[in-house]
Structure 1
Amino acid sequence: MTRRRALGRALSRVASLALAAPLALSPVSAGAQEPIKIGDLNSYTDLPAFTIPYRQGWRLALTEINESGGVLGRPIEVISRDDGGAPGDALTVANELVRREGVSMLMGALLSHVGLAISDYAAQHETLFLASEPLTDALAWQKGNAYTFRLRPGTYVQAAMLAERAAKLDAKRWAVVAPNYEYGQSAVEAFKKLLKERRPDVEFVAEQWPPLFKIDAGAVTQAIDRAEPDAIFNVTFGSDLVKFVREGTTRGVFEDRQVVSLLTGEPEWMNPLGSDVPEGWIVTGYPWDTLDTERHTAFREAYEARFDAPPRMGSVVGYTSLKALAKAIEKAGTTDSAAVAEAMRGLSLPSPFGEITFRASDQQSTMGTFVGKTKALDSRGQLIDWTYKDGADYLPPADQVKEWRPQGS
Structure 2
Amino acid sequence: MSVQTPNWIRLVLQATAVLAFSSTVHAQGTIKIGEINSYKAQPAFLEPYKKGMELAVEQINASGGLNGKQVQLITRDDNANPGDAVRVAEELLTRDKVDVLTGSFLSHIGLALTDFAKQKKVFFLASEPLTDKIVWQNGNRYTYRLRTSTYMQVAMLVPEAAAMNKKRWAIVYPNYEYGQSAAATFKTLLKAAQPDVEFVAEQAPPLGKLDAGSVVQALSDAKPDAIFNVLFAADLAKLVREGNTRGLFKGREVVSLLTGEPEYLDPLKDETPDGWLVTGYPWYGIKTPEHEAFLKAYQARFKDYPRLGSIIGYSTIMSLAEGIKKAKSTDTEALVAAFKGLQLMTPFGPITYRPEDHQSTMGAFVGRTKNEGGKGVMVDFRYMDGAKFLPSAAEVKKLRPAD
Match status 1:277 vs 2:272: yes
Maintained 8 Å contact 1:30/1:69: no
Whether 2:361 is the aligned partner of 1:366: answer yes
State yes or no: 1:403 paired with 2:371.
no
Residue 31 of structure 1 and its aligned partner are, at CA, apart by: 10
Q: Identity over the aligned pairs, expressed in percent?
A: 56
Superposed, 1:79-158 pairs within 5 Å as 79-158=74-153
User: 1:32 deviation in Å?
Assistant: 7.8
Which residue of structure 1 lines up, in the alignment, with residue 11 of structure 2?
none
After superposition, what is the alpha-carbon deviation per residue over 1:239-295, rounded to whole angstroms, capped at 9, x for unaligned? 100000100110000000000000000000111111111111000000100111111
CA 1:389–1:31: 2 relative to 1, 3 Å: farther
1:72 alignment partner, SS class: coil
What's 2:384 paired with? Answer: 389
**Paired position in structure 1 for 2:15:** none
Q: Take 1:228 and 1:355, find their aligned partners in 2: how far apart are those partners? A: 43
Letter in 1 for 2:281: Y
Aligned ranges 1:9-408 → 2 under 5 Å: 33-407=28-402
- Larger radius of gyration between Structure 1 and Structure 2: 2
Question: Deviations 1:366-392 (Å, cap 9, x if unpaired)?
Answer: 000000001123443111100100000
SS at match of 2:316: helix
CA distance in 2, matches of 1:125, 1:379: 50
1:187 counterpart letter in structure 2? A
Find the residue that maps to 1:355 and give its secondary structure.
Answer: strand
Alpha carbons of structure 1 residues 280 and 340: separation in structure 2 relative to 1, 3 Å: same
> Taking structure 1 as reference, are residues 354 and 184 closer, same or farther at Cα in structure 2, changes over 3 Å only?
same
| CA–CA separation in structure 2 for the residues paired with 1:165 and 1:152 | 22
Post-superposition, which runs of at least 4 consecutive aligned residues in structure 1 deviate over 6 A?
29-32
Secondary structure at the residue paired with 2:259? strand
- Separation (CA, whole Å) in 2 of partners of 1:376 and 1:40: 36
Question: Secondary structure in 2 aligned to 1:212?
Answer: coil
| Residue 164 of structure 1: how far off its partner (Å) | 1.2
Shift in Å at residue 90 of structure 1? 0.6
Q: Deviations over 1:300-319 (max 9, x none)?
A: 01000000000110000000
Q: Is the 8 A contact 1:174 1:202 kept in 2?
A: yes
Gaps of 5+ in 2: 1-23
RMSD: 1.2
Tell me the residue number matched to 2:12. Answer: none
Q: What is the rounded CA distance, in whole Å, between the counterparts of 2:27 and 2:400 in structure 1?
A: 42
**Deviation of 1:170 (Å):** 3.0
Residues 43, 110 of structure 1: 8 Å contact kept:
yes
Counterpart AA for 1:54: Y
Unaligned runs of 5+ in 1: 1-28
| Distance in 2 (alpha carbons) for counterparts of 1:331 and 1:292 | 30
Q: For the Cα contact (< 8 Å) 1:36–1:76, is it kept in 2? A: yes
Task: Tell me the distance in 2 between the aligned counterparts of 1:114 and 1:236.
Answer: 18
| AA partner of residue 355 (structure 1) | P
Read off the aligned partner of 1:145 and give its amino acid letter: N
Deviation of the 1:217 alpha carbon: 0.7
- The amino acid of 1:199's aligned partner reads Q
Distance 1:335 1:278 in 2: 47
Shift in alpha-carbon separation, 1:31–1:249, aligned structure 2, 3 A? farther
Tell me, yes or no, if the aligned pair for 1:30 and 1:66 is still in contact at 8 Å.
no
Whichever residue aligns with residue 235 of structure 2, its letter is D
1:132 and 1:150 in contact (8 A); partners too: yes
Aligned in 2, Cα 1:212/1:360: closer, same or farther, shift over 3 Å? Answer: same
Q: Secondary structure at the match of 1:207?
A: strand
**Whole-Å Cα distance in 2 between the matches of residues 222 and 125 of structure 1?**
47
SS at match of 2:98: coil
Q: In 2, Cα distance between the equivalents of 1:184 and 1:200?
A: 23
What amino acid does structure 1 have at the position aligned with 2:170? A
| Preserved contact between residue 30 and residue 75 of structure 1 (Cα < 8 Å) | no
Pair 1:345–1:32, CA change in 2 (3 A): same
Task: Give the TM-score, by structure 1 length.
Answer: 0.91
SS at match of 2:163: coil
Q: Whole-Å Cα distance in 2 between the matches of residues 53 and 157 of structure 1?
A: 23
Output the CA distance in 1 between the equivalents of 2:92 and 2:187.
39
